[in-house]
Amino acid sequence: MPNLLRPLPASSSRLGADFVDVGRFREVMKRHPRVVERVFTESERAYCQRKADPTLHFAARFAVKEAVRKALGRACAWHAVEVCKLETGAPSLAVDPELRTADGQYPVTASVSITHDGGFAFAVVLFDLSEIGKTLGVASF
């Protein structure tokens, strides 16, 4: 049987969350202005800089990137994760296709939620993961 397909592996989910003190983040941005380019993509910078208080939105995106690292169980490049916006205004994520969890799985769907209030920014990220990239990677097609 030449065309035997592997079953789709059961996916698993991973959650990450992070909380950022906006006042402290403001200080960091003042002391190290190049942080903005190092951490945030061009479209993230354009979005935040259009806002009345850009730091609130930068802090929230920093929380998202830290939450992603927790969900992956590993560090990743800051620009490997970009916060985008849906038409509703809800946030969504674009990620580098090479992004993997510490145990080699890759995210196939993501849910992200952001809030900033009372001097804090908070983000939570949920990934659905698949091992299919890893298993196909070792197959000899």
Per CB under 6 A, residues contacting ligand COA are: 57, 60, 88-91, 114-117
Nearer residue to ligand COA within complex by CB, 13 or 92: 92
CB of 122 to ligand COA, least distance (A): 8
Cβ 61 to ligand COA, closest distance in Å? 7
Residue nearest to ligand COA (CB): 89
By beta-carbon proximity to ligand COA, the closer residue of 14 and 116 is 116
Backbone φ and ψ of 132, nearest 5°: -60, -35
CB 43 within 8 A of CB 56: no
Q: Which is nearer to ligand COA, 65 or 116 (CB)?
A: 116
Q: Give me the least distance between CB of 113 and ligand COA, in Å please.
A: 6
Q: Least distance in Å: CB of 112 to ligand COA? A: 8
> Among 132, 130, 128, 111, which Cα is nearest to 14's?
128
Nearer to ligand COA, 43 or 115 (CB): 115
Closer to ligand COA by CB, 53 or 103: give it.
53
CB of 34 to ligand COA, least distance (A): 21
> Do 44 and 82 meet the contact criterion of CB atoms below 8 Å apart?
yes
Give CA–CA dist 64/46, Å, rounded: 17
